Amino acid sequence: MKKAIYTLAFIGALYSCKTTQTSKENQPVIASIDLVNVEEDKVSVSVDPDRFTSDNTTFYIPKTVPGTYSTDNYGKFIENFKALDYDGNELEFEKIDDNSWNIPNAENLDKVSYQVNDTYDIEDEEGVFSPSGTNIEAGENFMLNLHGFVGYFENKQEEPYRLLIKRPQGLIPGTALSKTVAASEDMAFKEDIYSLGRYFEVIDNPIMYAKPDTTSFMVEGMEVLINVYSPNEKYTSESIKPGIEEMISAQKRFLGEVDNTGKYAILLYLSDSEKQDARGFGALEHHTSTVVVLPEAMQPEQLQKTMTDVVSHEFFHILTPLNVHSKEVHYFDYNDPKMSQHLWMYEGVTEYFANLFQINQELIEKQDFYDRISDKIKSAQQFDDTMPFTEMSQNILEDPYKDSYYNVYQKGALIGMALDIRLRELSDGEMGILDLMKALSDRYGMDKPFEDEELFDDIVELTYPEIRTFLETYVSGTTPIPYNDFFTKVGLEESETEINTGYFIKGQTPYIDGDPAKGELFFRENIQFNSFLQELGVKGGDIIKTVNGEEYNIQNVYNLIMKAESWEEGEEVSFVVMRDGEEVELTATTAQPTDTDTTITEKDLPESSKEVKLRNAWLKG
């Protein structure tokens, strides 16, 4: 997903080629996006294929895209769809569903055209996760997750594409793609030209157009590009560069010889909490880039920590699923997807690496790592611990499995941890899960998918016979992982202790929740509150109306969390909550909130013990 520059005569040649419709071998599908003439917050798009020889065809906008594991129906954002013949006349078509249009008499079809609405300024974004969504803000910012703009014709997903994007002079693209640039004669706009091998490469390469704010650095032969859009200019690419450079340098050291990309782009969109804007915070991975959406209101230290956790997860996807994946992923059907059984590996192992590398490279202390593992255990226990992970993964788009998706980042990572410890135990500390993933990457790679049913056999062949028991018991089986058994192997134990928390969050567990239908924030029920909330006198079910006179709801909840982070000790704060239909005012003096928690700690064992030796091999490789 990336960036580059080009010429005007070349564009003219392209247009004349398509106008005459001479059927040339390898004639690409030409997709044109106009970011200059934006109408009512909508962008015009046309998709121009080579001449059809079939009686009819179907044009699709993706229903689902890789990495989201959800049904998003991007066709919902398409308006004014037209099918045009070579004279510019409209042809008949039938809209089959949100995402597909059937066009008879396809031999007369020249191209289709339509307008695209964005997701960021729609209430609740129609359920689309912001990093996979779209933004259209004329002259200011365009977030082009291209699956929301460019579609494909039936049976033409493997044909080459040429992407033509007309953009205002003042905006530049953030992307890992190489491009050619042509300027209009009056210099009113520029046109970027991108050549792509197939439709997957189109959607695998997001582009963010914004005013110039980009920087780059080199890490062991890989160029890392950082592109930032900060609407109120709170952050710049240079301000976040040091943290990103430290993180990716550490990741490259952790990965060792794994090296399959020469360029990697980070597209950071910072959301303005004072207006209708993106609210689904996180990131979406691609082969050579990641789209990150976070609140601009974040404090610098918190932004850096979040970027480390979020971007490191996405970067580790260069191992899986990008380098190790099944046929279901490689030949992804965007409108009738067949899901793989192995989300435990694609997302779970990736999330595990995103935490393990930080202790391995000494970016965090060991206790911080143990606390993260403890938090994941608590979060995973909120889900059905007997649900086979392979079954859940294969059916992740359907009820009741889709409600368990968040658990791939919790129990999925814990599967990775337990497998890592078991491998270290069987190999006397010599082999871990990173070694396994490298071996799978060598066996397969980006262009060679595996058979879904054969992965366990491959893993056992590359490791130990005992690993089959692990996989069939804890991954495809219904047996919960006995975490304490694995902790004992590496000299760890669980103990009760007092910990510091945030005002509204303990680790990964929030004390507050939201009602999407009503937009209300409320304190969770059946949960022990921290010392501050107990002093404040809140009760489970209290609906938050105002804090220090400012109204809060789901839309600006991150403002509340960010402001609480800046409260000084001894400051008086006031809440107004709705309790049993009546307004109640609560006041308290701020102090470091504390709570009791079960944490993982190291046993007092000699350094020469087998448990400590195994723990050192596990954490330090």
With respect to residue 370, please indicate whether it lies within any of the assigned structural domains: yes
Please write the tens of the pLDDT for every residue from 450-488: 999 999 999 999 999 999 999 999 999 999 999 999 999
Q: What pLDDT, on a 0 to 100 scale, did the predictor assign at position 183? A: 65
Q: What pLDDT, on a 0 to 100 scale, did the predictor assign at position 322? A: 87
And the tokens for 484?
A: 């304490």
Q: What pLDDT, on a 0 to 100 scale, did the predictor assign at position 8? A: 25
Question: Same domain for 225 and 332?
Answer: no
Segments forming the whole domain that contains residue 228 = 212-305
Q: What pLDDT, on a 0 to 100 scale, did the predictor assign at position 423? A: 98
With respect to residue 415, please indicate whether it lies within any of the assigned structural domains: yes
Percent of the chain with pLDDT over 90: 75
Last residue of a domain, one of 256, 283, 305: 305
Whether omega before 400 lies within 30 degrees of 0, making that bond cis, reads yes
Give the DSSP H or E segment for 461: helix 455-462
Q: What pLDDT, on a 0 to 100 scale, did the predictor assign at position 559? A: 84
Please write the tens of the pLDDT for every residue from 350-382: 999 999 999 999 999 999 999 999 999 988 998
pLDDT category of residue 260 using cuts at 50, 70 and 90: low
Per the CB < 8 A criterion, the answer to whether 261 and 248 are in contact is no
Per the CB < 8 A criterion, the answer to whether 577 and 584 are in contact is yes
Segment 318-332 mean pLDDT: 91
Angle (CA) 211-214-217 rounded to 5° is: 175
And the tokens for 220?
A: 């062991």
Q: What pLDDT, on a 0 to 100 scale, did the predictor assign at position 127? A: 85
And the tokens for 155?
A: 């049976």
In this structure, what CATH number is given to the domain that contains residue 268?
A: 1.10.390.10
Give the DSSP H or E segment for 95: strand 94-97
With respect to residue 254, please indicate whether it lies within any of the assigned structural domains: yes
Question: Same domain for 241 and 203?
Answer: no
Segment 96-121 mean pLDDT: 96
Question: Same domain for 56 and 170?
Answer: yes
Question: Same domain for 52 and 122?
Answer: yes
Q: What is the DSSP letter of 405?
A: G
Please write the tens of the pLDDT for every residue from 178-217: 888 776 666 678 999 999 999 999 999 999 999 999 999 9
Question: Same domain for 148 and 295?
Answer: no
Higher pLDDT, 86 or 7: 86
Please write the tens of the pLDDT for every residue from 433-455: 999 999 999 999 988 999 999 99
With respect to residue 444, please indicate whether it lies within any of the assigned structural domains: yes
Instruction: Report how many domains make up the chain.
Output: 4
How far is 67 from 334, CA to CA, in rounded Å?
Answer: 12
pLDDT category of residue 125 using cuts at 50, 70 and 90: confident
Please write the tens of the pLDDT for every residue from 581-608: 999 999 999 999 999 888 899 999 999 9
Question: Same domain for 526 and 540?
Answer: yes
Higher pLDDT, 27 or 211: 211
Which class for 363: exposed (0-12), middle (13-18), buried (19 or more C-beta within 10 A)?
middle
Q: What is the DSSP letter of 94?
A: E
First vs last Cα of the chain: how many Å apart? 31
Question: Same domain for 525 and 385?
Answer: no
Please write the tens of the pLDDT for every residue from 502-549: 999 987 788 998 887 788 999 998 888 999 999 999 999 999 999 999
**Which residues neighbour 505 within 8 Å (Cβ) at sequence distance 6 or greater?**
511, 561
Question: Same domain for 258 and 325?
Answer: no
Q: pTM (2 decimals)?
A: 0.84
And the tokens for 425?
A: 């135990």
Percent of the chain with pLDDT over 70: 95
**Is the model's pLDDT at 291 over the cut of 80?**
yes
Q: What pLDDT, on a 0 to 100 scale, did the predictor assign at position 186? A: 63
Sign of the Cα pseudo-torsion (433, 436, 442, 445, in order): negative
In this structure, what CATH number is given to the domain that contains residue 554?
A: 2.30.42.10
Q: What pLDDT, on a 0 to 100 scale, did the predictor assign at position 26? A: 60
